[in-house]
Every structure is written in structure tokens, then in C-alpha cells.
Amino acid sequence: MKLRQTDVLVIGSGFGAAAPALRLAEAGLKVTVLEKGPNVGPGLYRQTQDPKYLMKYLKGLGSDHLDLVYAEAVGGGSGFYEMVSLRAPRVAFAQRDGNGSPLWPDGVTREALDPYYDRAEAMLRVEQIRAEDVPRSGQVFALMMARLGYSCDRARYAVRNCLGSGFCVTGCIYGAKQSLHVNYLPQAAAAGARITPDAEALSVRALPASATRSVRRGDPRAPRYAVRCRIGGEGGALVEYHAGIVVLGGGTVGSARLLLASRPGLRHLSDQVGQHIAFNGSVKAAGILPDDLPDGDMYSGRSHPGMISYEFLESHGITISAAKPLPVPMIATARLRLPDVPAATGWWGADNVALMEQLRHRVIVLFTMGLTPPVGSLTLDSMGAPQLAVTSLPALSRYERGTEAILRSILTRNGCRPLAVDAVDRTGAPQPGTAFSTTHQTGSCRMSDSPGTGVVDPHGEVHGHPGLFVSDGAAIPSSLAVNTSLTILANAERIADGILARYGLSGATNVVPGRTAVRATIP
């Protein structure tokens, strides 16, 4: 096996990985970024529904009641996300577990994250959508909320000069999306970071004290960890990296998998690894618009339809948006059916075609994200394959029914004809009972004040393992009720600042929005 040295090894290249990679490279450290997925970017995306393309980059992990979808590619989820960039509401940080203990560790609050949200928003050029750019489905949704006296806000996005092609979730071929490919990653590379695609970290091992004794304590370059990797670009060669600082940014699934596989080499690892996965409990409802509401449009304008309602956040812990799913993700998630046709046959054949013909303009899909508890867990089976499970099903199904009732009430009071939305399992068959599917998973290695309740401390450092950090969605301890990426990125910026402070490093911390010469410095 080949041996390589680096000061900092960053695992993954998504939101949680990109900020530490950039900031530590800016501080003069030798940074190596290993990304399991293939290289992809604006020149390689396709506007397609071809599963061969989608499956190359988008992966899933499922169980009977929960499906997690995530990207494995350079840039992590940023290449394929809908660019919704929202700060987590204060109520998200105030959540408590069943024993009444706060889910977020001391000191990690909305106020503490706000300066980092500022920085992340500047880097991604996040802006509120202009009223005249809200896609028609979003306009109709806002009108429906207004008719009932409810509020609805224009959402915020990481995009410039969007052409409204509607294929954000297969990658933006026009370079409008401010994914990590146009800001953090090129800037990290310019600062000296080396980013290697098709490179998977397999396990992490703490080096024996003797191997590090010769190096000053607190020296970030002192090799503390050995990370075994498979490098696709070198014919699948096994390489062991020795690094002083290791930052795990493999995502909620990837980082937990890696730590679980590393247990033999990390003696002090908390037994909480893989536990407490939160998933923003999303519930969907759909209806056919009444004649007095204008057409929506599933396929024009950005993938996310522009509007989000916080009306039920304080009362029910949910936000509500409309959704504009492309055909294949829609079919793979749920069967839409006219309520008065039989479940067994209404999902195909002439009845289904009659409904599908109305889908583009006359169907509205409503979608919630909620403050559901962190009750998912990930373990590895004897072959090392990840297994997902969920507890607290009665409470989740009460939440699901209650949320569905709110959505149906919004539909019916607007005169919509509600449709049956039957979730499908991984074989395409209806999935009875409570089932959530999400791209907003967090928390498998959550931040906590003690190793008994989580995996990393409030600074993202693994309890008992100095120099080993988790900076991605895995560290976020709760559901957020809004899309997760901006919070993950802001927290990763905060963790990167903490690493710099811990090792007495001063970095430039430049805030340079993608593809412009504007340059500013956070004081």
C-alpha cells in the first residue's frame, strides 16, 4: 500500500467539506480532498430523465419507513440541489429530545451561526427571488395561501441569471447555479488544495502516540491519523494518507459509514455514531386546481417554485412549499391517483393517463418540511453494508396524518380536488404505512456537549479524538424545517474557524463570490 503525507485530509467535497478545505488551504496548510464520486460540473451535466445518468450521481439508502437520497460526486449535493438557501429558523435550535434536553449543544444557536450564514450567503451569492421570477406553480401556491389569509414568503436561492430551464436537479448546464464548483472548490484549489475524484476513504485509524511524539503538540502538521483510501484514478490502488487534521465531510450517510467502519482504529469513538438521524419529515399532498385558479406549470422555471410559507411553523413545526417534480423522481416516489378510481388499477392505464395529461398545468403538489425528531439510525451489517432504521413510528404517523390534514385542508378550501398520493417502495409497489423520503438528512454524528449523547463536540471535533472533525450534515443535531445546505455550510465555516483558532492559525478567510473579482474579508 502506498503511503502519502498531507497536513489536512478532507473527506468529501460537498457543503460540509468545501468550507474547511478552502479555509485551511488559505491558512497555508497542505490540504488534500478525497471525493468518492466522479468528477462532474457545468460542462458535464445533462438535462435528462435518463436513470443511467441520474444513478451515476444520485444514490439512495432506504428502509421500510425512510428513504434518504444524496449525491455522490464532486461538489456533493451542490451540483444537483434546487439552490434553496435558507437560514434555519430559531425554533429549530430550540428543539429538545424526549427527556427535555436540548438537541443543540450549548452555544450553537441561530445567533452564533448568523455571521457564518452571512459568509456562506456571500460566497454562494444567495438572494431572495424577485417577484417577477417566481414560477407559475409558486405564484398559484402563494395565491392559494393568500385566499386563506395565510402568509407566504419569497424564498432565497444560490443562483445568478437563472434561465428557468427547470432542470436544477440534474445539474445546471447554463452555469447559473452557484454550486460549489464555482466558488469554494476552485478557490480551495487556487489556494493549493488538491481535489481527487473517485477516491473513497475506507477507514480512519489513530496513529500510536509514538508516531506523533516527535512532533510538537498542537502542531496541525503532526500526523495523528492514518486514512486508508481507494483511489479510482490510480487503478483502484489502496493508499494510506497520514494527516495531522482529518475532516469528515462525507455527508450524513457517508461520514457515519466511515466512522462505523473505523471503530477498531478509533478507541474513544462514541457509541452514538449512526444514531439520531433527523430527516425534516416531508409530507406531500396533491390536488387538481379548480377553474377559478390559473394554470401552474410543473416544467417551467427553476425546480423549486419560489415560495415558502412559515404560517404553520410555530403552531405545527412545519413549513409548506409547492413542488415541481420532474417525471422520473415523481414516479419513483409516489403514485398519483384520482381518489375515486381503485388503488390497484388507478395508477396506470386510461385513468392514469387522464390524470397525467393534467399534471403539467392543473395539478398542484404541496410539500412540507417539519421538525420531526432525530429517530433514524444507521448501522453496518456483517458485510459492511449500511442499514437504516426508524423508531417512534406511532408519533411519526400522527405527525404525518396531522400534516397531511393541513395540506388537504389548504387544497379543499381552495376548491381543489385532492388526489391520492400513494408512496411507493423500492420495488415500485405501494408502501403502506408511514413513509418519509428526503434529501435533508442530518445528525448521524451529531454535535453534543458529551460523548454520551453525540459524536462530536460543539466545535465539530470527535469526542476523544483530537484533530478528527465532522463538519457536514452528520454534525447537525436536528431537523430544520427548511432545506439543509446553508446551515450545513454555515456550520462548516464555523468549524473551520474553530480549527484555525485551535491551532493558532491565521487565515485570510476571503469571501469571494463565485466567478467575480469582488473580494472582501470577514473581520
Partner 1 sequence: MNCPNDPFDARHPNRRQAIRLLAGGIAALAASACTPATIILKSYPEQYGRGTAATRRTLHAFTATVIPGLTPDEILAVDALEDPFYPTAKYCAFLASDLDRRAGRRHDRLFFELDLPKRTAIITKALDEGDATTRKLYTGAVFLTQAAVYGGIHDDSAGCRLTGFPGGNHLADPALVSYPDTSRFAARALSRDGNPA
Ligand X SMILES: Cc1cc2nc3c(=O)[nH]c(=O)nc-3n(C[C@H](O)[C@H](O)[C@H](O)COP(=O)(O)OP(=O)(O)OC[C@H]3O[C@@H](n4cnc5c(N)ncnc54)[C@H](O)[C@@H]3O)c2cc1C
**Which residue lies nearer to ligand X by CB, 81 or 367?**
81
Residue choice 6, 275, 368, 483 for contact with ligand X (CB under 6 A): 483
For ligand X, give the closer residue by CB, 60 or 430: 60
**How far, in Å, CA of 44 to CA of 154, rounded?**
31
Residue 125 identity:
R
CB of 432 to ligand X, least distance (A): 26
Residues 259-318 that bind ligand SF4 (CB under 6 A): 302
Left if phi > 0, otherwise alpha if psi is -120 to 50, otherwise beta: which for 494? alpha
List CB contacts of 465: < 8 A, sequence separation 6 or more: 206, 266, 268, 269
Strands (E), 289-381: 307-309, 318-323, 334-337, 363-370, 376-380
Q: Which of helix, strand or coil describes residue 102?
A: strand
Contact 226, 204 (CB under 8 A): yes
Q: Is 60 a residue that touches partner 1 (CB under 8 A)? A: yes
416 makes contact with ligand X (CB under 6 A): no
When the beta carbons of 91 and 202 are compared against partner 1, the nearer one is 91
Interaction mask 146-175, ligand X, x per CB under 6 A:
-----------------------x------
Q: Give the list of residues 6+ apart from residue 257 with CB closer than 8 angstroms, or none.
A: 250, 378, 380, 386
User: Judged by CB, which is closer to partner 1: 6, or 487?
Assistant: 487
Binding status of residue 331 toward partner 1 by CB under 8 A: yes
- What the block records as the C-alpha cell of 260 is 462505523
CA distances from 163 to 183, 198, 234, 301, 513 (A): 20, 31, 39, 7, 20
Q: Count of residues binding ligand X (CB under 6 A)?
A: 42
Give the DSSP letter string of 237-248: EEEEEEEEEEEE
Spatial CB neighbours of 310, under 8 Å, sequence gap ≥ 6: 89, 151, 153, 319
Residue 125 or 459 having the CB closest to partner 1: 125
Query: Which of 15, 5, 493, 31 is closest to 250 using CA atoms?
Result: 15
Q: Draw the binding track, 240-269, toward ligand X (x: CB under 6 A; -: no contact).
A: ---------xxxx-x---x-----------
Beta bridge partners of 505: none
- Neighbour count for residue 465 (Cβ, 10 Å): 22
One residue of 54, 168, 289, 419 binding ligand SF4 per CB under 6 A = 168
238-297 residues near partner 1, rule: CB under 8 A: 294, 297
Residues 294-313 that bind partner 1 (CB under 8 A): 294, 297-301, 307-310, 313
Min separation Cβ 430 and partner 1, Å? 9
Residue 156 or 228 having the CB closest to partner 1: 156
Residue 440 near ligand X by CB under 6 A: yes
Q: Quick check: 162 binds ligand SF4 (CB under 6 A)?
A: yes
Q: Give every CB contact of residue 181 below 8 A, 6+ residues apart in sequence.
A: 41, 42, 74, 75, 78, 79
Interior CA angle at 45 toward 43 and 50, to 5°?
Answer: 150
The least distance separating ligand SF4 from the CB of residue 42, rounded to whole angstroms, comes to: 9
**Which residue number, 36 or 463, has a Cβ lying nearer to ligand X?**
36
Of the candidate spans 9-17, 205-213, 398-406, 410-418, the one that interacts with ligand X by CB under 6 A turns out to be 9-17
Q: Using CB under 6 A, which of 82, 121, 311, 400 touches ligand X?
A: 82
Which residues contact ligand SF4 (rule: CB under 6 A)? 159, 162-168, 172, 174, 176-177, 302
Footprint of ligand X (CB under 6 A)? 11-17, 34-37, 69-73, 76-77, 80-84, 169, 200-201, 249-252, 254, 258, 304, 439-440, 472-473, 483-486, 488
